[in-house]
Structure 1
Amino acid sequence: MATNVHLTPELEQFARDRVKTGRYANMSEVVRDGLRLLQDQEVARQSAEAARREELARQQEESARRQLAFKAMLDRWSAMPSINIGPWTREELYD
């Protein structure tokens, strides 16, 4: 499968320099190696995004759990009978 790639003059010179140093046998190897690096970078980006979404979901679950616990505490507290502590009631103290 033949694919033509048009590079900027700077990128073409960079690729040719890599071939001249002997690191790569030809321009195709340079382009393939660059695409592999881009592929690795994309996989890392997707992994980071998945981890970010998982952390956000965990934080939302924790927030919902805390809100339910707080509501349950308030419900228990409000169900308690008023107590007389001197001339004031609990409601008067915490109003």
Structure 2
Amino acid sequence: MRALKRGGKAVDIGAIAGALPIDIHTMMDCQQSLSGSLWFTATEGEDMADMAARGLLDLSIFEQVKFPLDRVNEAIAGITNRNGGFSNYVINP
């Protein structure tokens, strides 16, 4: 939020675990705003789950790429070759 200019708007399209501390005073003084997005409704989510169960969706984009700890730099470098803009790397100790 502190990177926004006066009147700037941040849109959250991801998620985090836990609470997010936000400096409301700075947001108010700088006329900033934060909006969330709803990717899909519960019904749409159920429809997608049904389609996945029937094999109608290609979910290979969500496959994990696993690396041992000694190849962590290779995993990080691979982020530029993301599968459709999505990355899921697992580093095994």
Do these two structures clear the TM 0.5 threshold for a shared fold by scoring above it? Answer: no
What's the TM-score once normalised by structure 1's chain length? 0.21
Higher helix share: 1
Q: Which has the higher contact order (CA 8 A, sep 6+)?
A: 2
Higher strand share: 2
What's the TM-score once normalised by structure 2's chain length? 0.21
